[in-house]
Chains A and B, each alone.
Chain A
Amino acid sequence: MKAQSKGENKHESISTDIIDRKWIDVNIPCSAACPIMTDISGYIQAIMAGDYETAYRINRVDNVLPGVLGRVCNRPCEPVCRHGRDGLGDPVAICFLKRSAADFGMAPIKADIKPNGKTVCIIGAGPAGLTAANDLALRGYRVTVLEQFHQPGGMLRYGIPQFRLPYDVVAEDVTSITDLGVTIKTDVRIAADAKVEQLKKEYDAVILAGGCMLPKKSGMPGMDSNGVYWGLDFMMAANRDQLNIAMENVAVIGGGFTAVDCTRMALRLGAKQVNLAYRRTKDDMYVSSHELEAMEAEGVEFSFLLSPTGIETDKGKTTGIKFIRNSIAEDRSITPIAGSEFVLAADTVIFAIGQQAESDIIETENIFIAGDFRNGSATVIEAAADGRKVAGEVHRFLSGVNGYQDIIHISEVDETGRKRDDDFIPRQPMDETPLYERLIKDKEVETGFSQEKSSLESRRCYLCHYNFQIDISRCIYCLACIDVMPVNCIKMAKDIEITEDGDLRYIETTRWDEVQAITIDNDQCIRCGNCVRACPVDCISISKYRLEVIEKK
């Protein structure tokens, strides 16, 4: 690969050993936390080398919607990044880097597809459906996706506002999938089970990935009054410019992504005062902190430990919403406090308390269910991961492969290209549209890293996919490596234990007469390579680990 010019591969081997597979889970925390196991350090290293096209391609292997997920992913990878640990600063801005790989390196996927003559129909062109379509098309299936709306993308296109995810970004990622030969038919709605039965006969397999488009409803008094909306309906109408209402004082109920989007959209639609009310506390909200910050910066007020009990109306028009305060227990259960009801004035009330799937069809024969349609509403990356999983099941069902297995590519390199100084680069902030321009409805708020910024940010990555090992049989215990170590990363051990799970555990010592081995703690290692350069007998090796999932023969 071109990107690894710094650490040119000397020799590559393939391992199926459980210890090596486990090494990845333990030592590359970002990839392990990603539902779709994206090769994060792989693409960040390509950005470091200035090769955005390779970065895009590495990312695109796992994550078929790089432009979309570079913007709206909930980033389970970042909180676990080793750079964010106590005393080490802030996590690497993984998501922003992923976006810059797509911004600067997007290119058509070159794939050698051998058609296998089988057909698959996918209902729903959201993240789960699109990911499944991509995977099956690459394996030679003729894939048709049926989408009920006018444009593909599902929630990405209609649920998420343009100020977070512009339409062209969704369209570009969709194009990279249709380029593989996938047909998307829009404005086709499959509502009745009978139609599914028919599709079942027409295609070799059918995947239902219709998402969760039905708002969860609440039956409290006054819900039918003028000025009350369901979160998703509100967002979809606003996104299609079909919402033409005057609002001044808006209350949004809920603690998820849709609730947050509704508050920010309401501000853009001219609301003077927007309040978000959630029944638990800020820490319990199902949104990432950067979105809460954006909401706070734009001027939305929050209230916590509040449950709505009714809508106040005057001649059918909403005038306010009645709340009761809650107390919260350690298990996060809430109890209303008797007598604590009060009314918050509002002319518009938006309930964004969750969505559910439209149907309860179960998987039979050649019918498969994927994404939110199966799991209930979740995040984009979780839906994509589920789409991939179901595509794998479909392939197994139609082609007779014996399942899948993880293999690890291990390649030896001379150096990593990282320097100790890189640890002191601060996390690069995202460039944003200035606050005074935020009220322009469809203007994207996060404007993306420049190449300079992404290159600087990429250097912060510890490149956890490099495994540093000391060959004890050759080590002469000269301590040269310990002298040059930048952090407490090389340890002396008096014993090595193999645990039940197959892990190696070193029993540390500081007494010289007990030392039986010197080992590199990959959890502390910053991959600078000082030790390799200092070693007089060349007993320290660096190898790069990369996971691949292959079919079992």
Chain B
Amino acid sequence: MKHVIIGAGAAGVTAAVTIKTIDKDAEVVVIGEERFFPYKRYLLTEFLCGSIDEEEIIHTPGESIKEMGIKLRKGQYVKAINPLEKTVKLFHNEVMPYDKLLIAVGGRPGLGPVLRPFQKHIQPYYSLRDIMVLKKKLPDIRKCIVFGDGLSSLDLLCGLCNLGKEVTYIIKGKRADFSLVESEFYGELHDFIEKKGIEIITEDRLISIEKVNRHYRVSTLKQKSVTADIIFAWDYYKPNIACIKETNMEKKLGILVNEQLQTSEQDIYAAGDCVEIYHPGIKDYWINFGWPNALEQGEIAGKNMLGQKEKYKVHDAIVFNLMGKSLKARWWK
């Protein structure tokens, strides 16, 4: 039985390990786009701030992957899936057959149509590589602009603040709540970051970025102009599912799956930040972003790919938990 797993993040690697633990003889191939061994994404800001080193951020080191007999293909990505022939096509046109396929490609922050033309002026802040590049730039940076909701912004804001940078935070809403509507911190965060010395511009949007000498000048919808050395911006964080483009797989924002994490195509499963599942509690399709969920779904998907019928239990807590443990980040609570 050949198990192919697209994505070497938390969900993908957990599924691979689960499969190998239960069935030693199974053939498991994990295809990961990044050139690193699986790492803990939620620790990236701590790595940026220097409070942990590169080794601590690795989740599954190369030796243990080798020991388990998992084939990890780094730096490769799947560009198309053919559910009829049960094959995936890699970027270099290699065609790989599978018996069971798991899509665990995760999510990715993205830019809407307004900011997309300015992408080259925006510092990406998502992968280990982004952070390594950013680390090199840090000494030359004094002023930063951050635009975007969600917990990853909070994480970044605190990180930049701790590094002694001057930060301007631009948000669409009246108050900075980082989408934590249902959490115990709701309402306090705005004052908290303001007290830290972050300038907050509310009810406004970034609409253009211009490079002036070595700085960037941004304009907002309300025609404010702010200058900075670096710009961080995103409009959304959403599943990164370009690989299913040519299939008829049911999807909304993410791939729709049932409780056993099966997609609408036979023998294809999906887990982690790239799936959407109907949640009767909130009466909505739901992407349970985050590290703990990815581990849980990865394990269930792995078992079910081996023929078990374990069900994923949708959780009661509906806090948007983008970065897993980041709520316990040591610098502010």
Q: Interface of A with B (CB < 8 Å)?
A: 281, 293-294, 296-297, 299, 304-305, 325, 327-330, 337, 339-342, 429, 434-436
Contact present for A297 and B114 (CB under 8 Å)? yes
Given A281-B251, A293-B113, A429-B117, are A339 and B280 also a contact pair (CB < 8 Å)?
A: yes
Q: How far is the CB of A285 from chain B (nearest CB, A)?
A: 13
**Given A305-B285, A337-B278, 13 new contacts (CB under 8 A):** A294-B113, A296-B112, A296-B113, A328-B252, A329-B250, A330-B248, A330-B264, A340-B283, A434-B207, A435-B114, A435-B205, A435-B207, A435-B221
Given A294-B113, A296-B112, A296-B113, are A342 and B283 also a contact pair (CB < 8 Å)?
A: yes
Q: How far is the CB of A437 from chain B (nearest CB, A)?
A: 10
Q: Pick the contact of A325 from B113, B250, B283 — CB < 8 Å?
A: B283
Q: How far is the CB of B182 from chain A (nearest CB, A)?
A: 16
Does B67 belong to the interface (CB within 8 Å)? Answer: no
Does B222 belong to the interface (CB within 8 Å)? Answer: yes
Contact present for A305 and B252 (CB under 8 Å)? yes
Question: Which A residue's beta carbon lies closest to that of B220?
Answer: A436
Measured between beta carbons, the chain B residues less than 8 angstroms from A299 are 205
Does B284 belong to the interface (CB within 8 Å)? Answer: yes
Q: A341 to B280, alpha carbons, bound, how many Å?
A: 10
Contact present for A330 and B250 (CB under 8 Å)? yes
Q: A281 to B222, alpha carbons, bound, how many Å?
A: 32
Question: Which A residue's beta carbon lies closest to that of B282?
Answer: A342
Given A297-B113, A305-B285, are A340 and B280 also a contact pair (CB < 8 Å)?
A: yes
Measured between beta carbons, the chain A residues less than 8 angstroms from B283 are 325, 339-342
Q: How far is the CB of B21 from chain A (nearest CB, A)?
A: 34
Given A325-B284, A341-B283, are A304 and B252 also a contact pair (CB < 8 Å)?
A: yes
Q: Pick the contact of A327 from B117, B221, B256 — CB < 8 Å?
A: B256
Measured between beta carbons, the chain A residues less than 8 angstroms from B205 are 299, 435
Within 8 A of A (CB), among B231-277: 248, 250-252, 256, 264
Q: A337 to B280, alpha carbons, bound, how many Å?
A: 9
Within 8 A of A (CB), among B184-223: 205, 207, 221-223
Question: Which B residue's beta carbon lies closest to that of A289?
Answer: B113
Q: How far is the CB of B236 from chain A (nearest CB, A)?
A: 10
Measured between beta carbons, the chain B residues less than 8 angstroms from A296 are 112-113
Q: A436 to B205, alpha carbons, bound, how many Å?
A: 10
Question: Which B residue's beta carbon lies closest to that of A337?
Answer: B278
Q: A327 to B251, alpha carbons, bound, how many Å?
A: 10
Question: Which A residue's beta carbon lies closest to that of B235?
Answer: A296
Within 8 A of A (CB), among B111-169: 112-114, 117
Q: A297 to B285, alpha carbons, bound, how many Å?
A: 24
Q: A436 to B225, alpha carbons, bound, how many Å?
A: 13
Q: Pick the contact of B223 from A327, A328, A436 — CB < 8 Å?
A: A436
Q: A342 to B252, alpha carbons, bound, how many Å?
A: 19
Measured between beta carbons, the chain A residues less than 8 angstroms from B222 are 436
Q: A112 to B333, alpha carbons, bound, how many Å?
A: 84
Measured between beta carbons, the chain A residues less than 8 angstroms from B264 are 329-330
Interface size on B, residues (CB 8 A): 20
Question: Which B residue's beta carbon lies closest to that of A290?
Answer: B113
Measured between beta carbons, the chain A residues less than 8 angstroms from B112 are 296-297
Q: A296 to B235, alpha carbons, bound, how many Å?
A: 11
Contact present for A436 and B113 (CB under 8 Å)? no
Show 7 residue pairs from A and B whose CB-CB distance is below 8 angstroms, ordered by the A residue.
A297-B114, A305-B252, A337-B278, A339-B280, A340-B280, A342-B283, A436-B222
Question: Which B residue's beta carbon lies closest to that of A303?
Answer: B284
Q: A294 to B112, alpha carbons, bound, how many Å?
A: 10
Measured between beta carbons, the chain A residues less than 8 angstroms from B207 are 434-436
Q: How far is the CB of B15 from chain A (nearest CB, A)?
A: 25
Q: Which of B113, B117, B280 has the most CB of A within 10 A?
A: B113
Q: A330 to B250, alpha carbons, bound, how many Å?
A: 6
Interface code B271-301, partner A: CB below 8 Å = 1, 0 otherwise? Answer: 0000000101001110000000000000000
Measured between beta carbons, the chain B residues less than 8 angstroms from A329 are 250, 264
Q: A327 to B280, alpha carbons, bound, how many Å?
A: 13
Measured between beta carbons, the chain A residues less than 8 angstroms from B252 are 281, 304-305, 328
Q: A183 to B284, alpha carbons, bound, how many Å?
A: 56
Q: A70 to B278, alpha carbons, bound, how many Å?
A: 42
Contact present for B285 and A328 (CB under 8 Å)? no
The 8 closest A-B pairs by CB, nearest first: A293-B113, A297-B113, A297-B114, A340-B283, A330-B248, A435-B207, A342-B283, A436-B221
Measured between beta carbons, the chain A residues less than 8 angstroms from B280 are 339-340
Q: A305 to B112, alpha carbons, bound, how many Å?
A: 21
Question: Which A residue's beta carbon lies closest to that of B250?
Answer: A328
Question: Which A residue's beta carbon lies closest to that of B172?
Answer: A299
Q: How far is the CB of B247 from chain A (nearest CB, A)?
A: 10
Question: Which B residue's beta carbon lies closest to that of A292?
Answer: B113
Q: A299 to B206, alpha carbons, bound, how many Å?
A: 12
Q: A305 to B277, alpha carbons, bound, how many Å?
A: 13
Question: Which B residue's beta carbon lies closest to that of A338?
Answer: B280
Q: How far is the CB of B202 from chain A (nearest CB, A)?
A: 14
Q: A340 to B281, alpha carbons, bound, how many Å?
A: 9
Q: A281 to B207, alpha carbons, bound, how many Å?
A: 27
Contact present for B114 and A340 (CB under 8 Å)? no
Contact present for B285 and A325 (CB under 8 Å)? yes
Q: How far is the CB of A87 from chain B (nearest CB, A)?
A: 11
Q: How far is the CB of B208 from chain A (nearest CB, A)?
A: 8
Question: Which B residue's beta carbon lies closest to that of A434?
Answer: B207
Q: A293 to B278, alpha carbons, bound, how many Å?
A: 27
Q: A267 to B222, alpha carbons, bound, how many Å?
A: 16
Q: A114 to B278, alpha carbons, bound, how many Å?
A: 67
Measured between beta carbons, the chain B residues less than 8 angstroms from A340 are 278, 280, 283-284
Measured between beta carbons, the chain A residues less than 8 angstroms from B285 are 305, 325
Q: Which of A294, A339, A435 has the most CB of B within 10 A?
A: A435
Q: How far is the CB of B309 from chain A (nearest CB, A)?
A: 20
Q: How far is the CB of B201 from chain A (nearest CB, A)?
A: 15
Q: A529 to B57, alpha carbons, bound, how many Å?
A: 56
Q: A9 to B192, alpha carbons, bound, how many Å?
A: 75
Q: A299 to B280, alpha carbons, bound, how many Å?
A: 29
Measured between beta carbons, the chain B residues less than 8 angstroms from A434 are 207
Question: Which A residue's beta carbon lies closest to that of B264?
Answer: A330
Q: A435 to B221, alpha carbons, bound, how many Å?
A: 7
Q: Which of A296, A297, A329 has the most CB of B within 10 A?
A: A297
Question: Which A residue's beta carbon lies closest to that of B223?
Answer: A436
Q: How far is the CB of B42 from chain A (nearest CB, A)?
A: 28
Q: A429 to B252, alpha carbons, bound, how many Å?
A: 29
Q: A299 to B207, alpha carbons, bound, how many Å?
A: 12
Q: A532 to B254, alpha carbons, bound, how many Å?
A: 51
Q: How far is the CB of B29 from chain A (nearest CB, A)?
A: 25
Q: How far is the CB of A152 from chain B (nearest CB, A)?
A: 34
Q: How far is the CB of B141 from chain A (nearest CB, A)?
A: 28
Measured between beta carbons, the chain B residues less than 8 angstroms from A294 are 113
Question: Which B residue's beta carbon lies closest to that of A280?
Answer: B252
Q: How far is the CB of B28 from chain A (nearest CB, A)?
A: 29
Q: A80 to B223, alpha carbons, bound, how many Å?
A: 39
Q: A328 to B278, alpha carbons, bound, how many Å?
A: 12
Measured between beta carbons, the chain A residues less than 8 angstroms from B250 are 327-330
